[in-house]
Amino acid sequence: MSPALSGRGRVVAIMPARNSAKTLEDTIREIPRGFVDQIILVDNASKDDTVAIAERLGLTVVRHTIDRGFGGSMKTLMKAAMAAGADFLIELHPDNQYDAGDIPELLRKMGHDRYAMVMGSRFRPVSKALKGGMPWWKFIANRALTMMNNLLMGLHMSEFHSGLRVYSAKWLRGVPLDDLSDDFKIGFQFFAQAVEDGWRIGEIPTACRYFDEASSNPLKGSIVYGWGTLTESFRVFRYRLGLGGARMRTS
């Protein structure tokens, strides 16, 4: 463990993987030494050599023989990491889209139980996302969703949809993981749950790369995801006003 993290606790990186053979090794190579104690990868029914490469790299591998969705992989990862004694969980996708070099700064921002989670934002400044190659339609949709999500949930985030995050295991142990979505909506549900629980959410600037091998939610999936974030935001809005919207128990 790096001296910068002395006394912090155990840090486990979690990687939801599906057909990630082309990018996995590059992603692992970019993780700064001394900041991560263990890497757990869940393979979600890949049809390539993802598992073989992960095992060769010394990762802890859990296999889903059938497709359980992104959310299903995240649930498995988080349970495995907490069972392994994690104090902090780093979500890092194995497609090498996000800059793993930002992990030390994520952990420094997290501090000691100050936040439920800290996210790497592609929009600090806003122009950074476009410079990284984000398609215009994704950029516009992200800006519109972020504005509405912030308004309804009483937050001031630059975005909600990044895949580079650190979570507090202390907070996460109280989250009803099995009640959350098996799809991409789970990523937003963590924000909603943190607001309901009264925990802080932080962010730091990060870089993001868009290229052929990087995973990307297609247009139809993005529409479904976007609508899901709005329904979650409205539920939290009602909860904040005392009008119902009890803690999430959705699937």
* 199-223 pLDDT per residue, tens: 999 999 998 887 665 555 667 778 8
**Between 100 and 5, the higher pLDDT residue:** 100
Question: How far is CA 13 from each of CA 42, 69, 192, 215, 237, rounded to the nearest angstrom?
Answer: 11, 19, 22, 19, 32
Q: Backbone dihedral region of 103: left (phi > 0), alpha (psi from -120 to 50 degrees) or beta?
A: alpha
The token pair at 91 is 């979500």
Q: What topology is assigned to 7-240 in CATH?
A: Spore Coat Polysaccharide Biosynthesis Protein SpsA; Chain A (3.90.550)
Summarize pLDDT for 4-22 with one digit per residue, the tens.
454 578 999 999 999 999 9
Those residues with Cβ within 8 angstroms of residue 250's Cβ, 6 or more apart along the chain or in another chain: 179, 180, 181, 189
Integer Rg of the chain from CA: 17
Average pLDDT, the chain: 90
* pLDDT for 218: 65
* Helix (H), strand (E) at residue 56: helix 50-56
What does residue 88 show for φ and ψ, rounded to 5 degrees? -140, 140
For 91, list phi and psi in degrees, rounded to 5.
-85, 120
Task: Categorise residue 133: left if φ over 0, alpha if ψ from -120 to 50, beta otherwise.
Answer: left
Cα 191 to Cα 94, 103, 149: the distances in Å are 22, 20, 10
Contact of 179 with 69, CB cutoff 8 Å: no
Check if the beta carbon of residue 135 is closer than 8 Å to that of residue 127.
Answer: no
Which tokens sit at 240?
């904040």
Kindly state the tokens that stand for 160: 């909600």
- Judged against a pLDDT cut of 70, whether residue 3 lies above it is answered with no
Share of the chain above pLDDT 90, in %: 76
